[in-house]
């Protein structure tokens, strides 16, 4: 694990149907993320927020991919920042915003390794598959498309950032916590080569087995992995303030165990935490949990 962590806020809510996740980065910072990371011995630098467009100032555009040009602009900025952080030998920690930011975050991280003829794996912890395309999406919300973009499916503006695609081999992608999938999207998951672990898999096999498998998948022939944590993977009883809550998610302890296993692997190269929505939260509970989980992922243990 590197000694320097660079925090980047991505207060984007153009990709979601419900407003409020643009305040997620502020909520997580209010939960004392920076100071708590410093207690683990990291040199913490907060790079502030990437500029984002406001929906009131722009037309929605095509109903199949709402606000796509504005999302591409933000993702391109994020990609450049994340790549720059890695080139400095630091660890990028991105705070969303809706999950569409992941297309930019992962592109930047993957490009850093691509230039060294290496590949980056991906662990995607989420209640949703995020593998829609403009042709399949029932809503046109781009936050339902970023994982598809990472493996080369979806809008060219997002799949081909830096001039190459896919950003990772689908066989090096593990999707964990799945429990809400659109009908056509289900076929995308099944045919993609991505390894999906549903909540049934977690119930039957246990979180420990699933996460160890996920780490092995993401690390097979790669230089490590990016972790994309959507807070809606956790049950709404523990994380009520999320963009798209779905009952039946990870428990408090399962979520921490997942992060602890990630930390134990020593293979996480970048991290994003998305979809914290303070508008529907309870006394910043979800943002506080997000900080706790980041701490576990970055190496904080019980003893």
Range 1-20 burial, b when 16+ CB lie within 10 A, else e? eeeebbbbbbbbbbbbebeb
Output the pLDDT for position 1: 60
18 or 107, which is more confident?
107
Output the pLDDT for position 232: 98
Q: Is the pLDDT of residue 286 over 80?
A: yes
State mean pLDDT over 235-250.
97
Catalytic residue from among 232, 235, 272, 281: 232
State mean pLDDT over 225-250.
97
Lowest mean pLDDT among 52-61, 177-186, 285-294: 52-61
Domain architecture of the chain: domains with CATH: 4-297 (3.40.800.10)
- Calculate the average pLDDT of the chain: 96
Token pair listed for 196: 């999906």
* 173-178 vs 121-125, strand pairing mode: parallel
pLDDT digits (tens, 9 = 90+) for 154-171: 999 999 999 999 999 999
Q: Distance (Å, rounded) from C-alpha 213 to C-alpha 248?
A: 21
Residue for token pair 């290496």: 118
State mean pLDDT over 124-130.
98
The question of whether 188 is a catalytic residue gets the answer: no
Catalytic residue from among 185, 230, 260, 272: 230
Give the closest residue to 167 by CA, choosing from 214, 226, 125.
Answer: 226
The question of whether 130 is a catalytic residue gets the answer: yes
Computed on alpha carbons and rounded to an integer, the radius of gyration of the chain in Å comes to: 17
Output the pLDDT for position 55: 85
Output the pLDDT for position 145: 96
Q: Distance (Å, rounded) from C-alpha 57 to C-alpha 259?
A: 38
The question of whether 99 is a catalytic residue gets the answer: yes
């Amino acid at each position: 694990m590197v000694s320097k962590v660079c925090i980047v806020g991505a207060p984007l809510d153009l990709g979601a149907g419900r407003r409020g996740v643009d305040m997620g980065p502020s909520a997580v910072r209010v939960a004392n993320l920076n100071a708590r990371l410093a207690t683990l011995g990291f040199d913490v630098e907060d790079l502030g927020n990437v500029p984002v467009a406001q929906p009131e100032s722009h037309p929605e555009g095509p109903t199949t991919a709402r606000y796509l040009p504005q999302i591409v602009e933000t993702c391109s900025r994020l990609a450049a920042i994340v790549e720059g952080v890695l080139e400095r030998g630091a660890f990028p920690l991105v705070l969303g915003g809706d999950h569409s930011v992941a297309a930019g975050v992962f592109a930047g991280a993957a490009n850093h390794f691509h230039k060294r003829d290496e590949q980056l794996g991906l662990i995607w912890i989420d209640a949703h598959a995020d593998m829609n395309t403009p042709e399949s999406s029932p809503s046109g919300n781009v936050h339902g498309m970023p994982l598809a973009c990472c493996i080369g499916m979806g809008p060219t503006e997002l799949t081909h950032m830096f001039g190459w695609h896919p950003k990772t081999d689908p066989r090096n992608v593990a999707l964990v916590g799945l429990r809400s999938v659109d009908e056509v999207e289900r076929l995308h998951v099944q045919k993609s080569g991505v390894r999906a672990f549903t909540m049934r898999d977690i119930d039957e096999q246990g979180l420990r087995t699933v996460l160890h498998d996920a780490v092995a998948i993401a690390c097979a022939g790669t230089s490590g992995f990016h972790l994309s944590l959507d807070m809606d993977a956790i049950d709404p009883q523990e994380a009520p303030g999320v963009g798209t809550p779905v009952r039946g998610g990870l428990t408090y302890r399962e979520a921490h165990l997942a992060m602890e296993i990630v930390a134990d692997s020593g293979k996480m190269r970048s991290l994003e935490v998305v979809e914290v929505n303070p508008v529907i939260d309870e006394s910043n509970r979800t943002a506080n949990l997000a900080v706790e989980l980041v701490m576990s992922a970055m190496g904080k243990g019980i003893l």
